Amino acid sequence: MTIPAPPDQPNPADHKPAGQDPWGPPPSGPALAHFPPHPMLPAPVAPVSNGMGITALVLGITGVVLGLVIFLFWMSWLPALLAVVFGFIGLSQVRKGLANNRAMALTGAILGIVGLLIAVGGGVFAVTMVKRSADDTRAKADEAKASASSAEKDRHLSFGETYTYENGLKVTVAAPQPFTPDEYAYGHAKGNKAVQVTVTVINTSTSRVSVKTGLPDVNDANGASAELVIDGSGRQKVITGYLLPGKEAVGKYAFSLPPDAAGRIEVEFSPDAMRWNDAYWSGPTS
């Protein structure tokens, strides 16, 4: 018995080959076509980044150049240090396959190390030179101080000793002698002790020398300035004017001292107070 097909639907029996059961399993057809597997696509390649190596090389060169300049070596340590850092980062990227400029990165790192060594060496050299300069300056200052102290000591003499100035004048102050002012004396108080100071100046140079300040200063035993005595006896003589080579000038001056400070005096004298320091002669009075 055959079941009729629904309307508008083909009857399966119409498509079955003759002699085949229309309701049986379909006959085995030809095998499906075999397609070869898709070929594997290549893995994506990471982009090459050579920036670290290039930066290391530039910074390394900069560090070395700055280190070789005398006044700029102190600036070389920073680019040199950065060159070492970037150089090692660049080498790490080369090992990971992210860069291919190994020689550039290695050169930058090496130059950075050289720059650091130059910076350290320059710093040590600068510190050494500054210390040496400071030591020299201190030594010169000590020498000048010692020389000044020695010169100051040399300018303090006893009566009868001679001091020679740089212009060739030799000055000697003799021990003070008693002086009796006349009745018309000026600067001598009654009861004081008057003394006479004799200054001898000899020109040992080969040219004439001006003696502009031929008046000495006298301090008594208390350090007070003694009064200059002027009388009409004509015994006082002031050194002034020019002194010819080999010539001698003698000055005589009288001073009045208070009785309680007349036992010892100090005489200050300079042939030219504007150019030469005073020399000092001291000792007891007669």
pLDDT at 273: 81
In a domain, 82, yes or no: yes
Residue 255 forms beta bridges with which residues? Answer: 195, 228
Assess whether 132 and 181 both reside in one domain. Answer: no
In a domain, 256, yes or no: yes
CA triple 182-183-187, angle to 5 deg: 80
pLDDT at 153: 83
Mode of pairing for the β-strands spanning 279-284 and 156-158: parallel
In a domain, 187, yes or no: yes
In a domain, 126, yes or no: yes
Left (φ > 0), alpha (ψ -120 to 50) or beta: where does 241 sit? left
Distance between CA atoms of 167 and 204, rounded to whole angstroms?
9
pLDDT digits (tens, 9 = 90+) for 75-128: 888 999 999 999 999 999 999 888 898 999 999 999 999 999 988 888 888 888
pLDDT at 154: 84
Which residues span the domain enclosing 125?
Answer: 51-137
Write down the mean pLDDT value for the chain. 84
Assess whether 106 and 166 both reside in one domain. Answer: no
How many domains does the structure of the chain reveal? 2
pLDDT at 74: 79
Assess whether 207 and 112 both reside in one domain. Answer: no
Kind plus residue range of the DSSP H or E element containing 219: strand 217-219
